[in-house]
Amino acid sequence: MREAPIGVFDSGVGGLSVLAEIQHLLPHESLLYVADCGHIPYGEKTPEFIRQRCSVMAGFFREQGAKALVLACNTATVAGVADLRRDYPDWPIVGMEPAVKPAAAATRSGVVGVLATTGTLQSAKFAALLDRFAADVKVITQPCPGLVELIESGDLHSPELRTLLQGYVTPILAHGCDTIILGCTHYPFLKPLLRSMIADDVSLIDTGAAVARQLHRLLAERDLLAQGMNLPVKFWTSGDPQSLRKILPLLGQIPSNVQNFDL
């Protein structure tokens, strides 16, 4: 059971930012990754639809013998993680949430900006995070339609992307924020571009590393940490496998193992 793989999924390639953190912290683990590109973006879908996709993903990874599940998507976590934990109480399941707590602790100006999908920002879970951890902090939220689609196309640098991102960052900077939460797993891939738009003393915070630490903790508690050599990551996509093969090297992954996911 220790050498069983870990299942990771996202609406697309954004979860690869989380996958990279897991690879860094848990180098002996074998990983399975599903990019549900045929149904992207989750942020514009209904909670019912997302819960259904989460159920499909969980069933698939159980069939693959996965010893743990990571929802590498904020929107999927908001909609589906509670149902999955109810349905699979024996299974280590790790979800995402915007990094409100560390951002509130880090800010010096008392103003935190949040870049996220519409679905995440409108969720009750996000509202609860603000109530719990940001009572003494001013939080400026900014929905970012269009960013996920450009990243999914492999665009990390174009003038179109820069213009779109600048339009989202400028308003939150105008409020005096010195800390920006990247509230979607796609957005860490934009850090180099973001850095060119903001002052050096503005912090960018995401939760990929925290997810990897939580996964490590849950596996260690159950004596499920792998001991041997890991296998190459296996990838599936509900979109075009060839498109994923082209994008993977841009996002730090080897594209040798991409299959079609048609559930």
Strands 68-71 and 6-10: parallel
177 classed as catalytic: no
Question: What are the distances in angstroms from CA 171 to CA 49, 113, 116, 144, 184?
Answer: 32, 9, 14, 12, 18
Q: Cα separation of 260 and 218, whole Å? A: 30
From the list 54, 73, 144, 177, the catalytic residue is 73
37 classed as catalytic: no
Q: Cα separation of 37 and 150, whole Å? A: 13
From the list 37, 54, 144, 184, the catalytic residue is 184
- Residues linked to residue 32 through DSSP beta bridges, in sequence order: 7, 234
Whether the upstream peptide bond of residue 41 has omega within 30° of 0, thus cis, is yes
- Answer for the pair 172, 199: CB distance below 8 angstroms, yes or no: no
Question: What are the distances in angstroms from CA 145 to CA 81, 136, 246?
Answer: 23, 28, 23
Catalytic residues: 73, 184
